[in-house]
């Protein structure tokens, strides 16, 4: 991928950008979240993204987070449009026993969080974000070959030009090094639905 097309929206504590490897050190008290349940709003996590108007594509990245050690330390894939409209997927450190593999979708200023628990020994994860017009699919993989669906979602303001890329943050008083590599931009791997016909075609 042409990494020169990526730009920071808020920079991390430090970063190193190589030919196909990005190392990011997080700042403490950085996060992305809007309102739901916790009633607070956090919009200060660094995101590194590129713009596109392409309406069908897939973006793949491998994340490594061997140094994550504090509750909610996280790094992953992101599509950040503005403070109230975005999505992200990551592994969030919880404790020495388990972590949360999950995704957050934020539409019009309200976030949700869909998670599953995974073993704390997992220290790398692949993600694939696919776009079909204004609908999106997030998948994860342990080996970069076999991907598993995490969620399908709609982004209300995601129908035109968007930005997508990577992020890393530490919501509490922590900092860690996240590594991103093997980024790919491909034709859309999320195929058109072949089941029930849309209502307007019945």
CB of 170 closer than 8 Å to CB of 70: yes
Is the pLDDT score of 201 beyond 80? Answer: no
| Per-residue confidence (pLDDT) for residue 162, from 0 to 100 | 98
| Per-residue confidence (pLDDT) for residue 197, from 0 to 100 | 81
Give how many domains the chain has, as a whole number: 1
Q: Domain range holding 21?
A: 3-191
Cα–Cα distance for residue pair 15/11, rounded to 1 Å: 8
Instruction: List residues bridging with 129 in a β-sheet.
Output: 59, 138
On whether residue 197 sits in a domain, the answer given is no
On whether residue 200 sits in a domain, the answer given is no
SS3 201: helix
* Domain CATH for 135: 2.60.120.200
* Residues of the chain above pLDDT 70, percent: 99
Is the pLDDT score of 199 beyond 80? Answer: no
On whether residue 187 sits in a domain, the answer given is yes
* CA 30 remoteness from chain centre: 15
**Dihedrals φ, ψ of 5, to 5°?**
-85, -10
* Alpha-carbon distance values, 171 to 15, 27, 28, 110, 159 (Å): 18, 9, 6, 18, 30
On whether residue 196 sits in a domain, the answer given is no
């Amino acid at each position: 991928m042409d990494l020169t097309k990526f730009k920071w929206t808020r920079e991390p504590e430090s970063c190193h950008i190589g030919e196909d490897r990005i190392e990011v050190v997080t700042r403490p008290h950085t996060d992305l979240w809007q309102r739901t349940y916790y009633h607070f709003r956090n919009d200060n996590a660094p995101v590194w993204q590129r713009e596109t108007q392409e309406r069908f594509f897939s973006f793949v990245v491998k994340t490594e987070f061997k140094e994550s050690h504090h509750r909610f330390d996280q790094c992953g894939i992101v599509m950040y449009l503005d403070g109230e409209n975005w999505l992200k997927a990551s592994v969030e450190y919880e404790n020495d026993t388990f972590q949360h593999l999950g995704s957050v979708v934020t539409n019009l200023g309200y976030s949700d969080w869909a998670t599953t628990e995974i073993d704390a020994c997992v220290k790398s994860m692949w993600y694939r974000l696919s776009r079909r017009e204004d609908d999106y699919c997030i998948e994860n993989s342990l080996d970069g070959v076999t991907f598993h669906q995490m969620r399908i979602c709609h982004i209300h303001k995601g129908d035109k030009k968007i930005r997508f890329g990577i992020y890393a943050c530490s919501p509490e008083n922590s900092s860690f090094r996240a590594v991103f590599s093997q980024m790919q931009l491909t034709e859309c791997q999320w195929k058109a639905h072949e089941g029930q016909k849309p209502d307007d075609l019945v």
